Amino acid sequence: AQKVTQAQTEISVVEKEDVTLDCVYETRDTTYYLFWYKQPPSGELVFLIRRNSFDEQNEISGRYSWNFQKSTSSFNFTITASQVVDSAVYFCALLNYGGATNKLIFGTGTLLAVQP
Amino acid sequence: DTAVSQTPKYLVTQMGNDKSIKCEQNLGHDTMYWYKQDSKKFLKIMFSYNNKELIINETVPNRFSPKSPDKAHLNLHINSLELGDSAVYFCASSQEPARGTQYFGPGTRLTVL
| Chain B residues interacting with chain A (CB cutoff of 8 angstroms) | 31, 40-45, 48, 50, 55-56, 88, 90, 92, 97-99, 101-107, 109
What angle (nearest 5°) sits at the alpha carbon of residue A70, between those of residues A67 and A73? 85
Q: What is the mean pLDDT of residues B70-75?
A: 94
Would you call A13 helix, strand, or coil by DSSP? strand
Which candidate from A39, A47, A102 shows the least CB-CB separation from B103?
A47
Q: Report the alpha-carbon distance of residue A110 to residue A106 in Å, rounded.
A: 11
Residue pLDDT tens, chain A, 116 long:
789 999 999 999 999 999 999 999 999 988 999 999 999 999 999 999 999 999 888 888 999 999 999 999 999 999 999 999 999 999 999 998 877 678 899 999 999 999 99
pLDDT of residue B40 exceeding 70: yes
Instruction: Label the pairing between strands B10-13 and B108-112.
Output: parallel
Handedness of CA B94, B98, B100, B106 (dihedral sign): positive
Give the contacts of A96 (CB within 8 A, at least 6 positions apart). Answer: A2, A27, A29, A31, A32, A102
The answer to whether A45 contacts B55, with C-beta atoms less than 8 Å apart, is no
**Chain B: residue whose CA lies nearest to A36:** B101
pLDDT of residue B1 exceeding 70: no
The answer to whether A47 contacts B102, with C-beta atoms less than 8 Å apart, is yes
Beta bridge partners of B92: B33, B104
**Residue in A102, A92, A96, A71 with CA at minimum distance from that of residue A4:** A92
